[in-house]
Structure formats: C-alpha cells, structure tokens
Amino acid sequence: MTTTRKQFTLLAVAALAASLGGSAWAQGGTYPAKPVTLVVPTAAGGTTDLSARMLAQALGPVLGQSVIADNKGGGNGSIAASAVKRAEPDGYTLLMQYSGYHVISPHLTKQKQWEQSDFQPVANVISAPQIIVVRNDLPVKTLAELIAYAKANPGKLNYASSGNGSLQHVTGAMLEQQGGVKMVHVPYKGTGPALQDLLGGQVDLTFGTAPPFMPHIAAGKLRVLAVTGKERLPSLPDAPTTAEAGYPKVDATSWFAVFAPAAVPKPVIDKLAADIRTVVQSPAFKQKAQEQGATADYQTPQQLGDKAKVELANWATVVKTSKIEAE
C-alpha cells in the first residue's frame, strides 16, 4: 500500500470513529427525546408510590419530557424489577426502588428473577424511618408500655405487615428480639390492606414509613409510639426515637431510589443524576417530603451503590437470625 493510500485509510478510519463517537455523545446529549417511564414496584398508596409520583411530577419540567409513574406491584418487587431489567437500556425505563425489595428480598427468594448486577444506581430520592403505630383503643401510649403489655399477654398482640419478608415484618421481628416478647405476625399484600385492618381493629399494631399513616394519626384514629430512626421526625415532633425509648437496636430506615438497567450509557446516568439532584434539593420538594413524614435525601450513584452493598450484607444477618422466610 502506498503512503498516500495509507494516509487516506487512516484518515477515513479516524473520521468514522469521530462520527460514531460524536453520534453517541449526541444521543446522550439530547436525552431525553421522549417520555420517561418510572416503574413502581408497589400498588398505589404507599410511600414508594408517593415518592415516585412526587419525583415524576417535579422531574418532568427539569428533564423537558413527561415522567410517567407505572405501578407494577407484586412478587416482593420482582415483577417491576424484571420489567426494568428486560427493558431497552436507553434510559427511558427506570425503576423507583424500595430498599426493602433491594436489600432484604434477595435474602428470602430462592429462585431469583433479578440480581444486583442487573441494575446501576442513579440517585437516592427519599429516606424515611419506620414508625411504630397502634390502634387508638390499644391500652398503651409508649413503647415501654407496649413491651410491658406484650410480656403480660404473650402471643395476644398481633402486628400487620405488607407481607412475609417485608421491612415491616423484619422490623417487627427485630422488636420482638430486642424487647424479649412474642407477637403474632399477620402478613398482608401491601401497606394499604394492612392499614385498613389496623383502622378497623382487626390487628393491634404495624410498622411502616409515615406518609400513609399521617392523616389517620392527625385525626386521632391511630397512635404513633416511636420512630425507628436516629432522629425524630419534624412532622411527628412528640414521637420519640426507639433509642430514646430504650431500644437503640430497633433501627429500620427505608429509602426510595432510582435505578436503571445496567447497560444504560454513563452520559444518560449522569444527566439523570444531575436533574434528580436539582429536584430533590429544591426547597419545594424538601418541604413536601417533610410534610409527609419523610426526608428529601439526594445521594449520588456512587453513594447509593455503596449504601446498597452495605445494607445488603447487614440485612442478611437480621434475616438469618430472625429465621424469616418469604411467602
């Protein structure tokens, strides 16, 4: 091959590479060019759904495209996770993940439909501790009184959860261990049905993030005994933390975060993370989250990924010690 031909070939290859590279960056730079779907692994009404809809409403104008919350509940989050895992990795199908499904469910499911490696973290959006809530006519007003009542009436108290292996279930088991009591676990298919039976007096207490319970607490239909986080909630200033109530090891905080299929290009992840940060750190979003009994809590992809790995390992110990099994 002559020098001229060699030069021509090298120039042609360089031009093609530049063209392809420019095209890839252009695709990332123009993202999104159509509406984005945010898949929700729960039914409507719970904190995961509320977090997704809060984010979708505020994120749309920042992205310049509609963000649609799409509920695909069931299977301890596996239906939604599987749908996002199989989606085209272009950033148009995302998962609004609930921490209980992400770091607890994997320890309970024998036949896994998804793995941690199927997703990459985008951003944490909201964090919220579990609260301990009792029916209004239960004769206890503090966590200490609840433990004393449970000891005096072994096996009489029952607590609702959103299903076997849910964070509510694990929190209940944790309280039983730390308080030295025995209660009856009553699993439901979601927070909504559990809440309705608590209001109706069919169950005595439950655990969960504050948003779905706030209207009923304000109306005096339910009583909150404690917050299972490290700090009191501004929306429930009179409710002590479990540490203040004498049970510091009863600590269960949920988080709600955006994940994407593993192969989504980094420029798209970076844009999503930056725009979600703009939303979550805005005064309006922070105020709305606080009113719901939650905290706007932005975390970068790296921070979210690191947190998920640590909690996955920590909850493995809790699940094994409690001998909890999935449905």
Q: Give pTM, 2 decimals.
A: 0.79
HSE-CB of 120 using CA atoms within 13 angstroms: 17
CA distances for 322 relative to 76, 80, 121, 181, 192, angstroms: 18, 27, 29, 13, 25
Domain boundaries, the chain: 28-128+255-322, 129-227
Work out the angle between the directed axes of helices 167-179 and 301-322 (0-180°, nearest 10). 50
Token pair listed for 267: 């420029």
Token pair listed for 61: 């104008």
Strand, coil or helix: 257: strand
Domains 28-128+255-322 and 129-227 share a fold: yes
Report strand pairing: 205-209 vs 158-161: parallel
- Using one digit for the tens of pLDDT, what is the confidence trace for 115-168? 989 999 999 999 999 999 999 999 999 999 999 999 999 989 999 988 777 888
Place domain 28-128+255-322 in its CATH homologous superfamily: Bordetella uptake gene, domain 1 (3.40.190.150)
HSE-CB of 129 using CA atoms within 13 angstroms: 22
- Using one digit for the tens of pLDDT, what is the confidence trace for 216-259? 999 999 999 999 988 899 889 999 999 999 999 888 888 999 99
Residues 6+ apart with CB under 8 A from 135: 198, 199, 201, 203, 204, 205, 222, 223
- Using one digit for the tens of pLDDT, what is the confidence trace for 71-130? 998 888 899 999 999 999 999 999 999 998 999 888 887 778 899 899 999 999 999 999
Give the pLDDT mean for 287-292.
90
Per-residue model confidence (pLDDT) at position 7? 47
**Fold for domain 129-227?**
D-Maltodextrin-Binding Protein; domain 2 (3.40.190)
- Using one digit for the tens of pLDDT, what is the confidence trace for 16-67? 433 333 333 334 458 999 999 999 998 887 789 999 999 999 999 999 999 9
